[in-house]
Structure 1
Amino acid sequence: MRPPSPSIPEKEFLYASLKESLRLDGRSLLQQRKLEFRFGPELGYVECKLGKTMVIAQVDAKMVKPTPERPFEGSISIHSEISPMASSEYEAGRAASEEEVMINRMLDKVLRRSDAIDKESLCILAGHRVWHLRITFHFLSDAGNMLDCACLAGIVALRHFRRPEVEVIGDEVIVHPPTERAPVPLAIHHTPFCFTFAFFPDVTTSPVLDPSQLEQRLSAGLLSIALNAQKELCVLQKLGGVPLPHEEIIRLVDTSVQKAKELHEFVETRLTEDWMSRTVEVR
Structure 2
Amino acid sequence: MEQRLANIGRMTVNEKKFIETALLSDLRIDGRRPFDYRKLTIKFGRHDGSSEVQLGETHVMGYVTSQLVQPYRDRPNEGTLAIFTEFSPMADPSFEAGRPGESAIELGRVIDRGLRESRAVDMESLCVVAGKSVWAIRVDLHILDNGGNLIDAANIAALAALLTFRRPECTLGGENGQEVIVHDPEVREPLPLIVHHLPVAVTFAIFGEGNIMVIDPTYKEEAVMGGRMTATLNSNGDVCAVQKAGGEGIMSSVIMQCLRIASVKAADITSKIKNAVDAYNTERALRKVKRHPPSVALEVCVPDVIMEENQVDELSRHEVQNLKDEPERGCGNDGSRIGVETSTTRGKNNVFIGGPSSWDPYSKGISSCFISSQDLPGFILLRDIAAYPALWDDASQHLGAYHR
Q: Within 5 Å, give how 1:84-163 maps onto structure 2.
A: 84-93=89-98, 96-97=101-102, 99-163=103-167
Offset, 1:182: 1.2
Q: Which residue of 2 aligns with 1:172?
A: 179
- 1:111–1:154 contact (8 Å) kept in structure 2: no
What CA distance in whole angstroms lies between the structure 2 residues aligned with 1:155 and 1:175? 25
- 2:51–2:63 contact (8 Å) kept in structure 1: yes
Which structure: larger Rg? 2
1:107 aligned counterpart, secondary structure: helix
Offset, 1:202: 4.8
1:184 maps to amino acid = L
Identity in percent: 36
- 1:44–1:59 contact (8 Å) kept in structure 2: yes
Deviations 1:201-258 (Å, cap 9, x if unpaired)? 2555x31100001101100010100010011101111112222221111111011111
Q: Within 5 Å, give how 1:46-57 maps onto structure 2.
A: 46-57=51-62
- 1:111–1:151 contact (8 Å) kept in structure 2: no
Q: Give the TM-score normalised by structure 1.
A: 0.95
- 2:81–2:137 contact (8 Å) kept in structure 1: yes
Offset, 1:105: 1.6
Q: Which residue of 1 aligns with 2:85?
A: 80
What CA distance in whole angstroms lies between the structure 2 residues aligned with 1:84 and 1:201? 31
Q: Within 5 Å, give how 1:217-236 maps onto structure 2.
A: 217-236=223-242
What CA distance in whole angstroms lies between the structure 1 residues aligned with 2:170 and 2:99? 41
1:42 aligned counterpart, secondary structure: coil
1:207 aligned counterpart, secondary structure: strand
Deviations 1:127-162 (Å, cap 9, x if unpaired)? 111101111111111011101111111111111101
Offset, 1:68: 2.0
Q: Which residue of 1 aligns with 2:334?
A: none
Deviations 1:26-74 (Å, cap 9, x if unpaired)? 1111001111111011100001111110111110011111122211111
Q: Which residue of 2 aligns with 1:32?
A: 37
- The structure in which a higher percent of residues are strand is 1
1:70 aligned counterpart, secondary structure: coil
Q: 1:176 to 1:95 in 2, by over 3 A?
A: closer
Deviations 1:63-109 (Å, cap 9, x if unpaired)? 11112221111111221110001111012136613x22321221221
What CA distance in whole angstroms lies between the structure 2 residues aligned with 1:100 and 1:26? 29
- 1:57–1:135 contact (8 Å) kept in structure 2: yes
What CA distance in whole angstroms lies between the structure 2 residues aligned with 1:20 and 1:270? 36
2:241 maps to amino acid = V
Q: Which residue of 2 aligns with 1:18?
A: 23
Which shows bigger deviation, 111-120 or 186-195?
A: 111-120
Q: 1:95 to 1:35 in 2, by over 3 A?
A: closer
1:191 maps to amino acid = L
Q: Within 5 Å, give how 1:61-76 maps onto structure 2.
A: 61-76=66-81
Q: Does 1:182 align with 2:186?
A: no
Q: Which residue of 2 aligns with 1:209?
A: 215
2:96 aligned counterpart, secondary structure: coil
Segments of structure 2 that go 5 or more residues without pairing to the other structure are 290-404
Q: 1:7 to 1:272 in 2, by over 3 A?
A: same
1:6 aligned counterpart, secondary structure: coil
Q: Which residue of 1 aligns with 2:207?
A: 200
2:123 maps to amino acid = K
Which shows bigger deviation, 99-108 or 159-168?
A: 99-108
What CA distance in whole angstroms lies between the structure 2 residues aligned with 1:96 and 1:280? 42
What CA distance in whole angstroms lies between the structure 2 residues aligned with 1:257 and 1:201? 24
Q: 1:185 to 1:94 in 2, by over 3 A?
A: closer
Q: Which residue of 2 aligns with 1:281?
A: 287
Q: How many residues align?
A: 281
Q: Which has the higher contact order (CA 8 A, sep 6+)?
A: 1
Quote the RMSD (CA, aligned, Å). Answer: 1.6
